[in-house]
């Protein structure tokens, strides 16, 4: 099992980027996801990109000591997506995001 705080920070860093300087990239990603619902060619490409995110989340939950990596990967992905959308509605400070990330990990990998 890896260092939980370091793993949390490794996930929190891109969340901070995507809700700060990379906000336009996050919005574009969300728009592409919506467009992929209507376009099979784009759906395939987005599915490939999503596969990379799944792999990363699986690594994270494994590092955190998950005994149910499939379940915890899906949960972590849903929690991160929810956090990103919530942050788009109203950005919080880095400390506020840290306070949100820790319980997210606790929920995904108790």
Cα 106 to Cα 94: distance, rounded to the nearest angstrom: 19
pLDDT at 2 over 70: no
Contacting residues for 87 by C-beta, under 8 A, at least 6 apart: 15, 18, 19, 97
pLDDT, tens digit, 9 for 90 and up, residues 18-60? 888 999 999 999 999 999 999 999 998 998 888 988 998 898 8
Contacting residues for 30 by C-beta, under 8 A, at least 6 apart: 85
pLDDT at 95 over 80: no
**pLDDT averaged over the chain?**
84
pLDDT band at residue 100, thresholds of 50, 70 and 90?
confident
């Amino acid at each position: 099992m890896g260092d939980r705080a370091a793993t949390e920070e490794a996930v929190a860093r891109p969340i901070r980027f995507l809700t700060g300087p990379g906000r336009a990239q996050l919005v574009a990603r969300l728009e592409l996801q919506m467009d992929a619902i209507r376009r099979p060619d784009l759906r395939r490409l987005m599915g490939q990109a999503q596969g990379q995110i799944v792999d990363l989340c699986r690594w994270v939950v494994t590092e955190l000591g998950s005994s149910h990596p499939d379940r915890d990967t899906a949960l972590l992905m849903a929690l991160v997506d929810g956090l990103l959308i919530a942050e788009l509605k109203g950005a919080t400070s880095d400390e506020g995001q840290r306070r949100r990330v820790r319980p997210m990990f606790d929920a995904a990998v108790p």
